[in-house]
Amino acid sequence: MKKIILMASTLLMTQITWAKSQKACFKVEGMTCTACTVTMKVAINTLDGISDIDVSLKKKSAVVDYDDSKTDSVKIKEKIDSVGYKAAKRQCGEG
Ligand SMILES: [Cu+2]
């Protein structure tokens, strides 16, 4: 049993290494309420290769984890803009 768990976790770790996960951070203008954050999350989620989205109304920010073989930060930015907000890529970690 232990061996199986070990094998499964090794496999999982290998997959994480294979998937080229990237993080893109954006400053987002135009969000006014919680519904905006939901709208944006739903929109971003329609893109391929998105693994995690963290939108903050308070910080006016969006942090998106994605697979860079499937999508890129430009597409994410365009998606945010397409639902009525204004995203600008920023350095992750600042602000
Ligand atoms: Cu709103």
Return the residue matching tokens 């061996």: 3
Residue 28 CA, ligand 1 centroid: distance in Å: 13
Question: Quick check: is 31 in a domain?
Answer: yes
What is the domain-level CATH number for residue 50?
Answer: 3.30.70.100
What is the per-residue burial (b if ≥16 Cβ within 10 Å, else e) of 31-70? beeeebbebbeebbeebebbeebebeeeeebbbbebbeee
Residue 57 CA, ligand 1 centroid: distance in Å: 9
User: Could you list the residue range(s) of the whole structural domain that residue 80 is in?
Assistant: 20-90
Structurally, how many domains does the chain consist of?
1
Question: Quick check: is 9 in a domain?
Answer: no
Question: Quick check: is 51 in a domain?
Answer: yes
Give the tens place of pLDDT for each residue, 24-64. Answer: 999 999 999 999 999 999 999 999 999 999 999 999 999 99
pLDDT at 6 over 70: no
Question: Quick check: is 8 in a domain?
Answer: no
Query: What's the pTM?
Result: 0.78
- In the structure, ligand 1 is a single-atom ion and the residues with CB under 5 Å from it are 32-33, 35-36
Residue 40 CA, ligand 1 centroid: distance in Å: 10
Of residues 47 and 93, more confidence is placed in 47
